[in-house]
A = this chain, B = another copy of it.
């Protein structure tokens, strides 16, 4: 993300905050930052610096509500690592403070900002090439090693208590909502046999999402399975498939595959070039919203907090369904 901030033409990495001056200085050196970058020994000092316009918050999820609220309260725009919060109530606390302070909120789901995503969106919106949406399947898994499964913040109930659901299920859920043009499903039923660690943190789980008109979506996320980043979107007239939806295999070009009834059934590959990595494109989009707000008095773009909110709402329902023994959980729009 530091590299992304540097690669983005409208942002400058101005300061780093860490609980440890030593760790922050080493991080700076190792990543070849400008010597002018400030190093603060506490997060408060970052927020108290009047030259800081916006903060990127990569802290463990349990700390999001505290630090995002403090940042927004000091009128810093907030780019928040996903999962945005432990639950919708926490996220709403964050979003209310952002709104009342007129700062931009965005969760750091970088693939949303890749030009491939926009091109795929155009395909899905094309009544001739794609038709009506019928089914979505998304899957994000990676094989965590023993050290990760013992020590990483993502398997600790007091740090990232949502485990695989928060870390990678977030991507799957947001991809489903994106494909459904942010129309919330009405019911969520989680799959049996999620894998949990001894502390009860989710290591793998899946869920089925239902809309009343027969549209259906499923997702699967896991720390225990070889890297997979699949997204399939099926329509009445066409299909879309990708195998690297969250993080493209290549940094400067990404492919998607489509099939349509108007062609032979063999899927065709489409490549989309990007001049900067998707993380830098995300920072660029975030920074340009900040410039609009700070420079031109614009209002924050509501689309991004709304997408985060819907994602969190579905994530909460997935978790509730697991806790209720895989019962169907209604989602209230």
Contact = CB atoms under 8 A, between A and B. Distances in A.
A216 B193 contact: yes
Interface in A112-171: 131, 134-135, 137, 139, 141, 143
A38 interface: no
Given A191-B216, A214-B195, A227 B259 contact: yes
Contacts of A189: 191-192, 326
Contacts of A195: 214
Dominant secondary structure of chain A at its interface with chain B = strand
Contacts of A192: 187, 189, 208, 210, 328
A37 interface: no
Contacts of A243: 241, 257, 267
Interface stretch (A83-91, A217-225, A285-293): A217-225
Most buried by B among A135, A227, A244: A135
Count of identical protomers in the assembly: 2
A216 B206 contact: yes
Given A232-B139, A249-B266, A328-B192, A134 B224 contact: yes
Given A216-B206, A216-B220, A236-B143, A227 B191 contact: no
B237 A265 contact: no
A238 interface: yes
B139 A204 contact: no
A73 interface: no
A174 interface: no
A235 interface: yes
Given A204-B214, A216-B220, A228-B232, 14 more contacts: A134-B141, A137-B220, A187-B192, A189-B191, A189-B326, A191-B210, A193-B211, A206-B208, A226-B259, A227-B261, A228-B239, A230-B241, A250-B266, A326-B328
